[in-house]
């Protein structure tokens, strides 16, 4: 390719144009392969170094039989020469013996030319001498690849002595960016080019919009999304409604304050929460509700003495990446409280949350939470425990234990444990509680409305399900895409506890 390109460029440099690349020859004096010429021209033309046009021409060549005849003479002349001059002539069978295949065809032609006559199955010469015009015509074609008489060409083609081939070659002239040196064009902007500033002057290869693309493989669901779908089905079959979780950026107000989480709570600290720089605040909150939240934090109400601190609006206005999906639950419950008449509600969500934690094999700065919320009058802690047994039972997780815990927004709060038969110990699988009146009543919910809620991570069950023990193999830049393509869809094992373990043994 490079050799061909420099041949084309140096020829253009010397002669200004190449009228026909079919006439160019290589270093050994041989004609060029026009397919390779086309490739070379195309790449030069993309760089605007040359312009070129296709030339179509035809070329006549001899068939093997034609070449033989050009060498040794035509069959008709062979027949004529096989017949002795004078009165004796030759018998047809003898001619056949001497000339084989050529005898038949040669006779026909010789008769047509009136060179011979026939009597009693013998052939005689009818003229003194003959000129082998066929051979002369064939020689012309052999040496010039053409013939001045079209009729001759048609006739010889009919006799399968010669054939026409179509030839494509090119006429070339200099383009606007003609040069003897072929510059290597960059195909992509690289990090190095950006750093060195080379991108400003670099020449880029033109896009070839005609090139065929790589066939797409089709999409594949990430394992987390497969497990999410399974959890979603459990919620939906239990009559839950999915909450709109399509906002990663949330105000501190809905993420913390609305949840009766005091402003000096360590979770708000820059260690755990990602704060936004630009825009850094949100100021649109329901005015009356905002006032009630401020009051319950600073002086209490609804039977509570509050925290007794100086609540600051500036703190509530700070925009953050939501640290839990309970931020969505608080906004949904506020909305529920605005309805004229209270209606029981069952909500769930499964989406991403963010925490400014150091990343290790089991922690990422972003992960997914599964959250369920049930609001109804007269719900008790017994309902929460009973409901947890049903919910986790649907996943095959039985034998639950509850341990008192603390959340600023629930009272009582319980961590949920399940016995892991493989690890032979109790493991924490979720967090739950009953939302406090200090959270619900400022929203406008009736004092007898109780809300039970729970949350768990999506990553842990997914990693167990797909046998992944480093979270960085599940999410982030180290993920093996083949793993995502090949993992089967998720069916949560309906027998995960004692029964599954009994089967194993």
Interface residues toward ligand PHE, by CB under 6 A: 324, 326, 371, 407, 410, 431-433, 453-455
The residue (of 5 and 410) whose beta carbon lies closer to ligand PHE is: 410
Distance CA 353, CA 327 (A): 10
For the CB of residue 206, give the shortest distance to ligand PHE in the complex, in Å: 53
The residue (of 153 and 234) whose beta carbon lies closer to ligand PHE is: 234
H/E/C letters for each residue in 363-392? CCCEEEEEEEEEEEECCCHHHHHHHHHHHH
For the CB of residue 325, give the shortest distance to ligand PHE in the complex, in Å: 7
For the CB of residue 330, give the shortest distance to ligand PHE in the complex, in Å: 10
The residue (of 428 and 499) whose beta carbon lies closer to ligand PHE is: 428
b/e map 164-180, b = 16+ CB within 10 Å: eeeeebbebebbeebee
For the CB of residue 474, give the shortest distance to ligand PHE in the complex, in Å: 19
Distance CA 62, CA 83 (A): 28
The residue (of 374 and 468) whose beta carbon lies closer to ligand PHE is: 374
The residue (of 76 and 371) whose beta carbon lies closer to ligand PHE is: 371
Distance CA 272, CA 452 (A): 25
The 90-91 sheet, strands edge to edge? 90-91, 122-125, 116-119
For the CB of residue 191, give the shortest distance to ligand PHE in the complex, in Å: 38
Closest CA to 259 of 311, 331, 315, 317: 331
For the CB of residue 188, give the shortest distance to ligand PHE in the complex, in Å: 43
User: CA separation (Å) from 294 to 240, 287, 445?
Assistant: 32, 11, 17
- DSSP-assigned beta bridge partners for residue 372: 348, 454
Residue 457: strand, helix, or coil:
strand
For the CB of residue 203, give the shortest distance to ligand PHE in the complex, in Å: 54
For the CB of residue 219, give the shortest distance to ligand PHE in the complex, in Å: 30
The residue (of 106 and 430) whose beta carbon lies closer to ligand PHE is: 430
Closest CA to 415 of 426, 430, 427: 430
Cβ contact 61:156 at 8 Å: no
Distance CA 184, CA 49 (A): 13
Closest residue to ligand PHE in the complex (CB): 455
The residue (of 21 and 330) whose beta carbon lies closer to ligand PHE is: 330
The residue (of 256 and 454) whose beta carbon lies closer to ligand PHE is: 454
């Amino acid at each position: 390719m490079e050799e061909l390109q420099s041949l084309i460029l140096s020829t253009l440099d010397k002669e200004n144009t190449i009228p026909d690349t079919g006439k160019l020859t290589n270093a050994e004096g041989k004609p060029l392969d026009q397919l390779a010429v086309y490739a070379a021209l195309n790449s030069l033309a993309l760089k605007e170094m040359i312009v070129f046009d296709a030339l179509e021409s035809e070329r006549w060549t001899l068939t093997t039989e034609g070449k033989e005849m050009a060498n040794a003479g035509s069959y008709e002349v062979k027949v004529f020469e096989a017949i002795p001059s004078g009165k004796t002539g030759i018998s047809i069978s003898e001619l056949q013996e001497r000339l084989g295949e050529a005898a038949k065809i040669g006779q026909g032609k010789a008769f047509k030319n009136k060179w011979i006559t026939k009597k009693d199955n013998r052939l005689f010469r009818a003229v003194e001498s003959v000129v082998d015009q066929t051979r002369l015509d064939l020689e012309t074609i052999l040496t010039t690849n053409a013939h001045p008489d079209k009729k001759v060409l048609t006739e010889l083609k009919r006799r399968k002595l010669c054939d026409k081939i179509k030839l494509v070659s090119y006429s070339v002239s200099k383009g606007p960016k003609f040069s003897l040196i072929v510059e290597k064009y960059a195909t992509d902007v690289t990090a190095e080019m950006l750093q060195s500033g080379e991108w400003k002057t670099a020449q880029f290869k033109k896009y070839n919009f005609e090139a065929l693309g790589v066939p797409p493989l089709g999409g594949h669901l990430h394992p987390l999304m497969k497990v999410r779908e399974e959890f979603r089905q459990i919620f939906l079959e239990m009559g839950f409604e999915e909450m709109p979780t399509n906002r990663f950026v949330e105000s501190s107000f809905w993420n913390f304050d609305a949840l009766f989480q005091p402003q000096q709570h360590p979770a708000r600290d820059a260690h755990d929460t990602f704060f936004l720089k630009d825009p850094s605040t949100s100021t649109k909150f329901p005015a009356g509700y905002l006032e009630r939240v401020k009051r319950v934090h600073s002086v209490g109400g609804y039977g509570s003495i509050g925290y007794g601190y100086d609540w600051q609006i500036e703190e509530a206005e700070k925009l953050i990446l939501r640290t839990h999906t309970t931020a969505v639950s608080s906004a949904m419950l506020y909305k529920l409280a605005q309805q004229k008449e209270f209606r029981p509600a069952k909500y769930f969500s499964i989406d991403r949350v963010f925490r400014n934690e150091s990343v290790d094999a089991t922690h990422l700065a972003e992960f997914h939470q599964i959250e369920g919320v049930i609001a109804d009058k007269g719900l008790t802690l017994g309902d929460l425990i009973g409901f947890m047994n049903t919910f986790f039972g649907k996943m095959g997780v039985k034998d639950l234990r509850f341990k008192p815990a603390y959340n600023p927004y629930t009272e009582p709060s319980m961590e949920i444990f399940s016995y892991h038969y493989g690890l032979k110990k109790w493991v924490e699988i979720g967090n739950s509680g009953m939302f406090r009146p200090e959270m619900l009543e400022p929203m406008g919910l009736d004092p007898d409305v109780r809300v039970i809620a729970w949350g768990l991570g999506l990553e842990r069950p997914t990693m167990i399900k797909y046998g992944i023990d480093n979270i960085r193999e599940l999410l982030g830049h180290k993920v093996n895409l083949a793993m995502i393509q090949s993992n089967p869809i998720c069916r949560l094992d309906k027998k995960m506890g004692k029964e599954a373990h009994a089967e194993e043994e």
